[in-house]
């Protein structure tokens, strides 16, 4: 799994809006972030709220369009295609490994 980082305010605000839906191998990592919306999206997305250490705190498997979701303990959010965290494909462990690879090392 490959994570695309959204760090600037415009990137974080837009998310997947105006983009083709993500495939099973890509996710959008919004950092910092504790709440997201699906305003303007046509399809549901899978949402994973993540803490500072890269642990998944909460998963919403299919957040429908025109909805909001939040997790106050989260430091970031990963938006994925519905079904991308399927247990048969490695599920949450695969996502956490992708986050660990993407976090810059502490100097």
Q: Where are the domains of the chain?
A: 2-102
What is the arithmetic mean of pLDDT over 13-23?
67
**CATH no., domain 2-102:** 2.60.120.1140
Average pLDDT, the chain: 84
Give the C-alpha separation, 26 to 50, whole Å. Answer: 16
Listing from the earlier edge strand, what are the strands of the sheet with 56-63?
2-6, 26-30, 76-81, 45-50, 56-63
- What pLDDT does residue 49 have? 97
Yes or no: say if 57 and 71 are a contact pair by the CB < 8 Å rule: yes
**pLDDT tens digit sequence for 31-68:** 899 999 998 888 899 999 999 998 999 999 999 999 99
């Amino acid at each position: 799994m490959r994570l695309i980082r959204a760090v600037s305010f415009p990137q974080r605000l837009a998310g997947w809006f105006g983009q083709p839906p993500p495939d099973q191998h890509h996710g959008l990592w919004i950092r910092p972030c504790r709440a997201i919306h699906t305003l303007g999206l046509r399809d549901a997305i899978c949402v994973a709220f993540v803490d500072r250490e890269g642990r998944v705190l909460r998963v919403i498997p299919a957040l429908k369009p025109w909805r909001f979701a939040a997790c106050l303990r989260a430091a970031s959010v990963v938006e994925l295609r519905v079904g991308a965290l399927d247990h048969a494909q490695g599920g949450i462990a695969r996502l956490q490994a992708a986050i660990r690879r993407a976090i810059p090392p502490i100097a």
